[in-house]
Chain A
Amino acid sequence: QQQVKQSPQSLIVQKGGISIINCAYENTAFDYFPWYQQFPGKGPALLIAIRPDVSEKKEGRFTISFNKSAKQFSLHIMDSQPGDSATYFCAAADRGSTLGRLYFGRGTQLTVWP
């Protein structure tokens, strides 16, 4: 059972446009929601994360929007650049769990055309 559902699977955006990736979860115990960015041949790197006590977090061109009642969260990349072309993974975790396990979405391959 997929704990975190991510869409779309792939996304093509023009340079300067907005990239939007959506994720949904079911487990109400989840209280930590990070996004990871992965370039080809590299390991994923933490990009930005949010906790459910806030509805939005912004870091530069990257913004996470969080809707606790709908159990959904999304990543917005403003002014998308070709260097943003990568695979993006959303994830969720229960910070109270000693296993510390992150449940990942299946990833979105973003391509930004110049």
Chain B
Amino acid sequence: SQTIHQWPATLVQPVGSPLSLECTVEGTSNPNLYWYRQAAGRGLQLLFYSVGIGQISSEVPQNLSASRPQDRQFILSSKKLLLSDSGFYLCACLPGGSPGYGYTFGSGTRLTVV
């Protein structure tokens, strides 16, 4: 089974500072990878997804970007954080691209922009 590593677990950043969140996957090859954001007490908002190296699709226009430099590495970035970027960021993996196996989620990064 696959394992997702996300770091850091908690982050407090000032408005206007850059951001880099990293997600790495073990136990599978050529997975689909996803970045979700969860506001406090809210649902899961899909931000980006990737079906392969260098292939990134964005779901919502925003202050964030994503990159996939390696098969099992997914990075979420921002050049200048906004207060509205605060939230719980989750990386998810779908092995082999088939939803029939279900997503595996990472443990998340709690980002607070101050």
> Contact residues of A with B, CB < 8 Å?
32, 34, 36, 41-46, 49, 51, 89, 93-95, 97-102, 104-107, 109
**Chain B min CB distance to A41 (Å):** 7
The one of A34, A42, A99, A101 in contact with B102, judged by C-beta atoms closer than 8 angstroms, is: A34
Known: A43-B90, A105-B43, A107-B43. 9 other contacts (CB 8 A): A42-B107, A44-B90, A46-B103, A49-B102, A51-B100, A95-B99, A99-B32, A99-B49, A100-B94
Chain B residues whose C-beta falls within 8 Å of the C-beta of A51 in the assembled complex: 100
In the complex, which residue of chain B has the Cβ closest to the Cβ of A94?
Answer: B99
For the complex, what is the distance from the CA of A93 to the CA of B103, rounded to whole Å? 11
Asked if B46 is an interface residue, CB under 8 A from chain A, the answer is yes
For the complex, what is the distance from the CA of A72 to the CA of B44, rounded to whole Å? 20
In the complex, which residue of chain B has the Cβ closest to the Cβ of A44?
Answer: B105
The one of B4, B32, B41, B110 in contact with A100, judged by C-beta atoms closer than 8 angstroms, is: B32
**Total contacts A-B at CB 8 Å:** 63
Most B CB contacts (10 A, CB to CB) among A41, A42, A44 go to: A44
The answer to whether B105 touches A95 (Cβ under 8 A) is no
User: What is the interface of chain A mostly: helix, strand, loop, or mixed?
Assistant: loop
The answer to whether B90 touches A95 (Cβ under 8 A) is no
Number of B interface residues in the complex (CB < 8 A): 25
Chain B residues whose C-beta falls within 8 Å of the C-beta of A32 in the assembled complex: 99-100
For the complex, what is the distance from the CA of A99 to the CA of B108, rounded to whole Å? 22
Q: Given A41-B110, A99-B51, A100-B32, does the pair A106, B99 have CB atoms closer than 8 Å?
A: no
The one of A49, A94, A100, A104 in contact with B97, judged by C-beta atoms closer than 8 angstroms, is: A100
The answer to whether A101 touches B99 (Cβ under 8 A) is yes
For the complex, what is the distance from the CA of A53 to the CA of B104, rounded to whole Å? 24
The answer to whether A45 touches B105 (Cβ under 8 A) is yes
For the complex, what is the distance from the CA of A95 to the CA of B42, rounded to whole Å? 26
**Chain B min CB distance to A79 (Å):** 25
The one of A43, A89, A101 in contact with B46, judged by C-beta atoms closer than 8 angstroms, is: A101
**Chain A min CB distance to B53 (Å):** 15
The answer to whether B106 touches A43 (Cβ under 8 A) is yes
Residues B18-54 near A (CB distance < 8 A): 32, 34, 41-44, 46, 49, 51
